[in-house]
Amino acid sequence: MRVLPLIAELRARGLLEPEQAAGLEAHERTRPFSLHYEIRTLLYLGITLLSGGLGVLLYDHLDDLGHGAVVVLISLLTAACFTYAARHRRPFSWAQVPNSGLLPDYLLLLGCLLFLVLEGYLQAQYTLFGTRYGLALAVPAALFFYLAYRLDHRGVLSMGITALAAWAGLSVQPLSIFENQFLTAPVSRAALGLGAALLVAGWLSETRHRKAHFAYTYLLLGGNLLLAAATAALFAEVLRPAGLLVLLILGVSAGLFWYGRRAHAHVFLLLGAAYGYVALTYGLFRFFDSLGTSGSELWFTFCLYYFLVSAVAAVWFLTHLKRLAGTAAHAQNL
């Protein structure tokens, strides 16, 4: 209904005839309401609940079924999901492939989740991979990347990137998870390297027109991974020099902000602004601290005006977010 005030304003300015305005208002009031995103959300939730419910059901009846029967059942369900999705696939193309339907789309996601359940069950019960935990993560990552490109599915691509990130962190320091050492220098460097690689992959996808619509996923996950790892390493002081990390965060944040305006994507604007502000604030405070002015009257005056200006800038940014994202996003939200 946000279009109705716009129609009334155009009519008041004399840009629309009364008959045209009445027709547009009638169309706006009677047009069907799209439930596309609501239905997709319910389907995603249904897949998650179904996979979780099957796990609980199998666990409760494990003694009656036996481990072999559980493995066979999960394997058959996984194979059925992948087979149905493969039989309804479109011919491969480096461009975006038209969706073959909701059912193959969500059965593919269910098959990927069941594959993870199957792999985890085999590892827990039969130690299929032994102590080669990296291999247990590399296998689903390779499978999900193949399925994402072959069946043109960005959700499966996200799962592949997540598995790849877990493999990278476990490979550089295998015992860090078991020793509760999640933020170490090797893990931070691996996260920065993988984040940069994902950003390059997104840039190549778009510029080389190789699944260009995958660029959004690559840039979003890669940028968030790199910026989060760099910010955490900055405050935990596990990587040096701090000034280089600040420049890295500011540069990547500016790039994401530019891409957000170019692609009319609000999330990239928010990511760029948030991480950039944190890095800029950290850099300024460290700079003044190095001058030995902390605790002085000048220091308190600077903090007062800095946070006041920051609050005003944040309000201006949020109120002008649509305009910053571009006219295409503004027109889409009308």
Per-position pLDDT tens, the chain of length 334:
466 677 777 777 777 777 777 777 776 676 666 666 677 677 777 777 777 777 677 667 666 767 788 888 889 999 999 999 999 888 889 998 887 777 888 889 889 988 998 888 888 888 888 878 888 889 999 999 999 999 999 989 999 999 998 888 766 655 554 455 567 788 888 889 999 999 999 999 999 999 999 999 999 999 999 999 999 999 888 888 888 999 999 999 999 999 999 888 889 999 999 999 999 999 988 887 777 766 577 778 888 888 899 999 999 998 888 888 774 444 444 3
In a domain, 113, yes or no: no
For 19-38, letters b (16+ CB in 10 Å) and e give eebeebeeeeeeeeeeeeee
In a domain, 327, yes or no: yes
Count: domains in the chain: 1
CA distances in angstroms from 316 to 80, 178, 254, 322, 327, listed in the order given? 52, 45, 18, 11, 18
In a domain, 22, yes or no: no
Q: Are 100 and 217 in contact (CB under 8 A)?
A: no
Q: Are 278 and 253 in contact (CB under 8 A)?
A: no
**What's the first-to-final CA gap in the chain, in angstroms?**
9
In a domain, 203, yes or no: yes
Domain containing 221 equals 173-334
In a domain, 119, yes or no: no
In a domain, 198, yes or no: yes
In a domain, 11, yes or no: no
In a domain, 227, yes or no: yes
